[in-house]
Amino acid sequence: MHRKRTYLVTGADSGIGALVADRLTEAGGTVIRCGIGPGMEIRADLSDPAEPARLAAAAERLAPAGLDGVALVAGIAEPSVRTVRLNYFGSLAVLRALRPLLLRSAAPRAVLVSSASSLSAGATDLIHACLRGDEAAADRAAERAIARGRGAVIYRSTKIAINRWVRRHAGGPDWAGSGIPLNVVLPGIVDTETARRTMLGDSAQARVLAEALPQPLGFPGPAAAAADAVAWAVGAENSFMAGQLIFVDGGAEVILRGEGPFRRGVRYRPAALAKMIFWSLVSRARRTNRSNAPR
Determine the Cα angle at 56 with ends 180 and 32, to 5°: 80
Is residue 64 within 8 Å of residue 25, measured between CB atoms? no
As a whole number of angstroms, the distance between CA 292 and CA 170 comes to 45
Separation CA 72–CA 258 (nearest Å)? 28
pLDDT (0 to 100) of residue 199: 76
The predicted-structure confidence for 198-249, as pLDDT tens digits, reads as follows: 777 778 888 888 888 899 999 999 999 999 999 999 999 999 999 999 999 9
Task: State the pLDDT confidence band at 3, using cuts at 50, 70 and 90.
Answer: confident
Band (21; pLDDT cuts 50, 70, 90): very high
Sheet with 69-72, side-by-side order of all strands? 42-43, 30-35, 6-10, 69-72, 109-113, 182-187, 245-248
- pLDDT band for position 250 (50/70/90)? very high
CA distance linking residue 197 with residue 192, whole number of Å: 9
- b/e for 226-248, b at 16 or more Cβ within 10 A? bbbbbbbbbbbebeeebbbbbbb
The residue that leads in pLDDT, 258 or 194, is 258
pLDDT tens-digit profile of 55-84?
999 999 999 999 999 999 999 999 999 999
Mean pLDDT on 15-34: 97
Q: What are phi and psi of 242, to 5 degrees?
A: -140, 140
- Under the banding of pLDDT at 50, 70 and 90, the label for residue 13 is very high
Omega before 220 within 30 of 0, i.e. cis:
yes
Does residue 262 have a pLDDT over 90? Answer: no
Q: What is the dihedral angle through the alpha carbons of 155, 156, 161, 162, rounded to the nearest 10 degrees? A: 80
| Strands (E) located in 171-210 | 182-187
133-190 pLDDT, tens digit per residue, is 999 999 999 999 999 999 999 999 999 999 999 999 999 999 999 999 999 999 999 9
- Please state, in angstroms and rounded to a whole number, the distance separating the CA atoms of residues 93 and 82: 15
pTM of the shown model: 0.93
What pLDDT shows up at residue 202? 76
- Give the Cα separation of 277 and 269 in Å (integer): 12
* DSSP structure class, residue 147: H
